[in-house]
Structure 1
Amino acid sequence: MSHPSPSAAEEGVVMISFRATFPSLRRTRTRSFPSSWLGSCGTSAQLCKRFFNRASYAARDGPAVSAHLRNGDPDGTREVLGTFRFPDVRSVTKMIAGRSQNGRLGDALKLFYETPVRDSICWSTMIKGCLDCGDLMKAQELFDKMPEPNVVSWTVMIDGFSRFGQVERAEKFFEQMPIVDLTAWNTMLHGYCENARVYDAVKLFEQIPSRDVVSWTSMIGGLDQNGKCEEALVVFKRMFESGIAPNASTLTCALSACANALSFPLGVQIHCHVFKSGFCLSVFVCASLITFYAKCKRIEKSTQVFNEAVSRNVVICTALLTGYGSNGRHEDGLKVFSDMIRKSVLPNQSSFVSALNSCCGLESLDRGKEVHAPAVKQKLGCDVFVGNSLIVMYNKCGVIDDAVAVFKRIRKKNIVTWNAIVCGCAQHGRGMWAMELFSQMIRGLVQPDEITLTGLLSSCNHSGMLQKGRCLFRYFSENTSIELKHEHYACMVDVLGRYGKLEEAEDLVRNMPLKANSIVWLALLSSCRMHSNIDLAERATNYILELEPHCSAAYVLLSNLYASANRWGEVSRLRVTMRDRGIVKQLGSSWVTIKGQKHLFLPGDKSHPLSENIYWKLDWLKMKLKELGHVPDKRFSLHDVEDEQKEELLFYHSERLAVAFALISTVEGSTVTVMKNLRICGDCHSAIKLIAKIVDREIVVRDSSRFHHFRSGICSCGDYW
């Protein structure tokens, strides 16, 4: 049997009776609900029971809603609320926030529109949810529909505009605010700093009526992030003078500014304050101290702070790992990373990036793969930041195929991703791959930058693609906003010079809008050495020495050119000049990294413990090379000695010693990777091609400009390097 709904008078009587019965709920605000939520209600007793259920919801079911949201289960909140017919607006607001935080904007909006009563907190939460999910237009639409926007909703919109880079709209909102509280001032200040509007930030900061610690911290951090670390430290000193006590965030920003400004004395003073005030318990302050000492080249102090830290979480461990890497202590950095894995401290993006950078520093492919494995387990192998570092690591360790495989798996590629793989392909002689990737960039509407152009020109340089190089250089100089720099002209000179277009290369140097520096002239001089053009080489050398009188590379290149032409008198004159001016020629060296240990070799070196075996292997290879008809090219022996001695000197170049050592120290059939600090000589290049065929293995040699992949008597460079 249905019962009639209670009249307004009956409701009022019941409510008075209800509050008399439950005094603790007298301040409960009553709300009117539509019939779809109220349902049918017959007797006064039933109405009283419904009021009791509604009033007791927050105490009974509110914690359950919060628990589901904390556990990332917004759907569970619906089940909790399903057991109660009158959801409290506060709990519905929590549900909206939970769905927004999980990227479920559509569900959050549906729940918001279904809510019969929405207070200002609910409106502001929904607006913030739209911003968090990247829908600025919907956020403004809701703001415009909000019955009475309060200072919180205005501030949320200002923050949203700033996050989307629309600072002008944020300014307009800020100026239109009916009431401006300190939070709004701080939000606008933060927006200016995040969008590099430093001058406006400083101007606004000076206008804030009563600054709090957040205001000062935002200003210090904003100046530091925008490259004005010295000004940030001035503001920090002013803060102390004004009597505002810094909090952990302030000290973190100040230490970052000290690190960037290399202000060691002030940083030490802040460290003393940290110790006295008890902020040494703060994870972020400790991490900032570690970074500060590392940037100031006091890595031992960084280690001390780390050892004294109360808790060693991922933030502190990553700070030390990065600090070791920036100080060249890559082995120590990777030890920290290994300790993190062993002690179940899950590395984050920054941890993996720093660890991979240390692997690059060690040029250790094995260590890089050891870091790659846990990244995949944590589903960070496809992350753009970790992926970019993996591409660079595989490139530098000579495995371009693995770099391409990582590139393909990255879902959201940025310009750094594209540049890393394009430059990697260029270094490894994959010119056509680089061109195809550039085409994909253009089709994907990815805007290339100056690094992209450098990589593309390098790929043309190392692959003999003269016409493509000319077209690219012309296209970027005439049709893009990219400002061509010296390195771009040097690359183009190299493209022309390696192809033998020396006159065109010289014209480019003389007519370029920038004044040619030593790097551009060195590119031309290197081409002269390749094509034995002594006259142009002498002119280029004179220009280089005018700009950089102690440039050893210019002396060495010209001396080598004279030596190859048997002009030994000129060679002696240059060597005397170098000695008189204190200019030292860089000694050629090669090295191999096996099981984490680096083995360095110099020309004719016999200091290695396995020298006897190395030279036996070289003699065996010499015999096999003669059987294949290899004749040493004595032009690359740059010493005035007899022909037999020239052959002997050529065969014991550092790269051949390193190759022989790697062959006797690694498993049959595995790839051999050798690193060299100078350009590989032409005779070694010819010999190693045949050695790769003799031993039936891939031999990778990285010289000062590129990687050479030798397989079955062929090099990836096509003999064009």
Structure 2
Amino acid sequence: MSKSRALFFKKTKQSSILFGISIFLPFSSTNVKIFSKFFTTISSNANSRYPSCKLLFSDLLKNQRLDEAREVLNKIPFPGVHLYTMIIDGYAQNYRLDDAIQLFEKMPVRDTVSWNSMIKGCLNCGDLITAKKLFDEMPERNVVSWTTIVNGYLQFGKIEVAERLFFEMPVKDVAAWNSMIYGYLKFGRVDDAVNLFWKMPSRNVISWTSMIDGLDYNGRTDEALIFYKKMAASGVQQSSNTLSCVLKACANVMALHLGVQTHGRIVKLGFCFDEFICTSLLTFYANCKQMENACMVFNEKLHGNVVIWTALLTGYGLNHKHGRALMVFGDMIRMAVLPNQSSFTSALNSCSGLEALDKGKAIHAMAVRLGLDSDVFVGNSLVVMYTVCGNINDSVAAFNNIGEKNVVSWNSIIVGSAQHGQGMLALTLFTRMIRDEVDPDEITFTGLLSACSHSGMLQKARCFFEYISRYKSTVIKLPHYVCMVDVLGRCGKLEEAEELINNMQVKPNSIVWLSLLSACRMHFNLRVAERAAESILDLEPNCSAAYVLLSNVYASAGKWSDVSRMRLRMKQRGIMKQPGCSWVTLRGIRHEFVSADRSHPLSEKIYQKLDWLGGKLKEFGHVPDERFSLHDVEEEQKLEMLSYHSERLAIAFGLVATAEGRAITVMKNLRVCGDCHTAIKLIAKIVGREIIVRDCTRFHHFQNGMCSCGDYW
């Protein structure tokens, strides 16, 4: 055997012995001494010592046994720079920066690698000042040193300093250029990034991918796709990350053709089973309304990855196929795929879309079992789900359970309180929000103005409206004007509301005028209604709501010739009135009703219940308000038409189909009529149940002959 081969086997044997000891011998102080003695024995041969040390330290550091590793290091007679650097990296990764700095200062010799490691460790631990001090003290810097400190300043948002250091660099490699380009894109300096990209002496796949992703992130998706085409033409090999970024961009602008081409390239390059790529494909096809293709991608492989399942679940939700989305969520559970925060958020959003309170409660219970109910994203979705499904009390409870609330949490509960007519609750929550030092935004103030509108708090609304104009981070926008006009209109201040519209700082749209016209319908003000309708039709000539509301004002005033004229104009223009519709969701099935509807399987029982209720209403002294009968017919027909409005049919169905004493929740696409509102208050008292009705503007909670809106809606 040659001398070199004998030396090789000797070193291999020593390494094998050490590896065996490191696995099976516990890391006690006694055993550390054994290790140290072993190292001393072999220290005469440096070439054999360091591979063994590296093996041991890798094992120690991998298991985060830093103190034992330090003891071993202290016993080694002449540890090299590499071993010091390894343990310094270990300290930094475990956020023990003081220990790392202390050891760094004790190093007998430092090379550029150890200086770079120490600087990077400081940055990872959030200490930019020490990192810069070390950088300034370095005896020699290489391109890695410069790139690390540039990345550090970018990490802390100091892009101007990073930019100056970048241009001071004596030598720049492609990684340095990529870092600066990434920084420009991250902080919205897109043009600077584009200019720097074209100045690069050479570009790699990371350069191109950063530009594609960064342009898309900054809303310049069309440019991002142009960059991708240039990248393909340049012959640079595309990575899975590149293709994923391209798919995301295609999804954002619904570029179906290019996305399908990219899918073909993915198959050609063998990335089709990459889980990140699979998720991007699902999202792309879902955004492009191609759920069949999304399912094909999903079914190509049996997946155990929760992210891929969640992408499919979210895709169905985006395409308003909420029933299918909840089926996917159920399949996840059956396949033992543990849902994450995003899974629960998407599932709860689909429950909101279906107004399926029972299913929402079941998913909530599952989130509680997994300890995710206090997560801010899950909690926000719970707040919205309970609000949409008519349960404001559970919505408040879900809000209070959120661990760390963000502005979305506060906005969700404030807007929800406003929708349910809980004006004082909304104001109390706003006070808590300010006390918790959460800055309100434009949505917050829209919710507060809406709360004032639904609760008749005119003076508070005036204060908030004035405050918005003075608040540093918001300006008065169209939604704020709409709410303020609504507040004034509901309070009967129609002329003041009209004056506000005429003096708006932004151009009024049809929605602002519709808010005024709706108030005219409420207060039977024909003169202002005609001016509002004229303004709406100037902006939107085929606006059906304007014709219908003005026609209703004429009908309430008994001007039937004007009603006929409006209906003739609608017919000539081909404008269709949206039919009133109410529905009840029971055990996941939606039961819909229109006025005088007899198509439901339980119609006979529904009408029997309505006739019984009609008799009871007479006993309680209810007199139908004929102003809400909008047809020129005989009085008896008017009364019958009022009795069979869609919301009353839905309530009768709820009484027939649900257990005694259970609350009934009815959804309606149009505003509930005044006569039905009065009747439902009495019905709730007659049957001894809570009846919740959501119309196009708010929720009404009827109980014991009263409504939560206080007859103000």
TM-score (norm 2): 0.89
CA 1:464/1:179 → structure 2, altered by over 3 Å: closer, same or farther?
A: same
CA distance in 2 between counterparts of 1:507 and 1:701 reads 33
CA distance in 2 between counterparts of 1:295 and 1:21 reads 61
Residues matched between the structures, number: 682
Match in the other structure for 1:682: 674
CA distance in 2 between counterparts of 1:357 and 1:476 reads 31
CA distance in 2 between counterparts of 1:119 and 1:709 reads 74
> 668-677 or 463-472: which moved more?
668-677
Matched, 1:515 2:504: no
Match in the other structure for 1:161: 153
Match in the other structure for 1:352: 344
Q: Deviations over 1:505-555 (max 9, x none)?
A: 111111112222111111111111111110111111111111111011111
Deviation at 1:47, TM superposition (A): 4.9
Q: Which letter maps to 1:161?
A: Y
Contact 1:100 1:129 in 2 (8 A): yes
Match in the other structure for 1:330: 322
* Structure 1 residue matching 2:328: 3-state secondary structure: helix
Matched, 1:532 2:547: no
> 194-203 or 460-469: which moved more?
194-203
Match in the other structure for 2:665: 673
Match in the other structure for 2:355: 363
Q: Give the 5 Å matches for 1:216-615.
A: 216-309=208-301, 311-615=303-607
Contact 2:349 2:381 in 1 (8 A): yes
Contact 1:159 1:170 in 2 (8 A): yes
CA distance in 2 between counterparts of 1:519 and 1:498 reads 16
CA 1:553/1:505 → structure 2, altered by over 3 Å: closer, same or farther?
A: same
CA distance in 2 between counterparts of 1:703 and 1:659 reads 14
CA distance in 2 between counterparts of 1:551 and 1:667 reads 42
Matched, 1:78 2:73: no
Contact 1:97 1:108 in 2 (8 A): no
Contact 1:151 1:179 in 2 (8 A): yes
2:143 to 151, 163, 179: 151
CA distance in 2 between counterparts of 1:543 and 1:296 reads 37
* Structure 1 residue matching 2:666: 3-state secondary structure: strand
Deviation at 1:492, TM superposition (A): 0.6
Deviation at 1:601, TM superposition (A): 0.9
Contact 2:692 2:701 in 1 (8 A): yes
Match in the other structure for 1:213: 205
CA 1:195/1:561 → structure 2, altered by over 3 Å: closer, same or farther?
A: same
Deviation at 1:585, TM superposition (A): 0.6
> 338-347 or 143-152: which moved more?
143-152
Deviation at 1:377, TM superposition (A): 3.2
CA distance in 2 between counterparts of 1:120 and 1:672 reads 73
Deviation at 1:181, TM superposition (A): 1.8
Contact 1:65 1:94 in 2 (8 A): no
Q: Deviations over 1:130-182 (max 9, x none)?
A: 54455544544554555655433432333333233322222122223333221
CA 1:379/1:131 → structure 2, altered by over 3 Å: closer, same or farther?
A: farther
Q: Which letter maps to 1:110?
A: D
* Structure 2 residue matching 1:549: 3-state secondary structure: coil
Contact 1:322 1:333 in 2 (8 A): yes
> 125-134 or 217-226: which moved more?
125-134
Match in the other structure for 2:102: 113
CA distance in 2 between counterparts of 1:438 and 1:518 reads 30
Deviation at 1:422, TM superposition (A): 1.3
Q: Which letter maps to 2:102?
A: Y
Deviation at 1:318, TM superposition (A): 1.6
* Structure 2 residue matching 1:279: 3-state secondary structure: coil
Contact 1:108 1:126 in 2 (8 A): no
Q: Give the 5 Å matches for 1:683-698.
A: 683-698=675-690
* Structure 1 residue matching 2:537: 3-state secondary structure: helix
* Structure 1 residue matching 2:438: 3-state secondary structure: coil
* RMSD value, Cα: 2.9
Q: Which letter maps to 2:393?
A: D
Deviation at 1:654, TM superposition (A): 0.9
* Structure 2 residue matching 1:61: 3-state secondary structure: helix
* Structure 1 residue matching 2:677: 3-state secondary structure: helix
1:192 to 171, 177, 184: 184
CA distance in 2 between counterparts of 1:99 and 1:565 reads 82
> 593-602 or 376-385: which moved more?
376-385
Q: Deviations over 1:649-673 (max 9, x none)?
A: 1121111111121222223333221
Deviation at 1:587, TM superposition (A): 0.3
> 342-351 or 313-322: which moved more?
342-351
CA 1:403/1:135 → structure 2, altered by over 3 Å: closer, same or farther?
A: farther
CA 1:492/1:397 → structure 2, altered by over 3 Å: closer, same or farther?
A: same
* Structure 2 residue matching 1:281: 3-state secondary structure: coil
CA distance in 2 between counterparts of 1:456 and 1:131 reads 43
Match in the other structure for 2:26: none
Match in the other structure for 2:28: none
Q: Which letter maps to 1:297?
A: K
Deviation at 1:479, TM superposition (A): 3.8
Contact 1:280 1:309 in 2 (8 A): no
2:702 to 710, 716, 720: 710
Contact 2:61 2:90 in 1 (8 A): no
Contact 1:463 1:717 in 2 (8 A): yes
Contact 1:655 1:674 in 2 (8 A): yes
Deviation at 1:222, TM superposition (A): 0.8
2:57 to 39, 57, 62: 62
Q: Which letter maps to 2:169?
A: M
CA distance in 1 between counterparts of 2:256 and 2:168 reads 44
CA 1:58/1:368 → structure 2, altered by over 3 Å: closer, same or farther?
A: farther
Matched, 1:176 2:171: no
Q: Which letter maps to 2:381?
A: S
CA distance in 1 between counterparts of 2:592 and 2:89 reads 60
Deviation at 1:644, TM superposition (A): 2.1
CA distance in 2 between counterparts of 1:288 and 1:700 reads 41
CA distance in 2 between counterparts of 1:361 and 1:235 reads 38
Q: Deviations over 1:222-261 (max 9, x none)?
A: 1111111111111111111111010100111111112222
Runs of 5+ in structure 1 lacking a partner? 1-18, 27-38, 69-73
Q: Deviations over 1:374-405 (max 9, x none)?
A: 33333322222222222222211112222222
Q: Give the 5 Å matches for 1:29-44.
A: none
> 455-464 or 288-297: which moved more?
288-297
> 470-479 or 547-556: which moved more?
470-479
CA distance in 1 between counterparts of 2:197 and 2:350 reads 41
Runs of 5+ in structure 2 lacking a partner? 1-6, 15-31
Deviation at 1:128, TM superposition (A): 4.1
Q: Give the 5 Å matches for 1:644-655.
A: 644-655=636-647
TM-score (norm 1): 0.88
Contact 1:130 1:136 in 2 (8 A): yes
Q: Deviations over 1:288-332 (max 9, x none)?
A: 122222222211111111111364412221221111111111111
* Structure 1 residue matching 2:585: 3-state secondary structure: strand
CA 1:45/1:408 → structure 2, altered by over 3 Å: closer, same or farther?
A: closer
Q: Which letter maps to 1:698?
A: E
CA 1:669/1:214 → structure 2, altered by over 3 Å: closer, same or farther?
A: same
Deviation at 1:608, TM superposition (A): 0.9
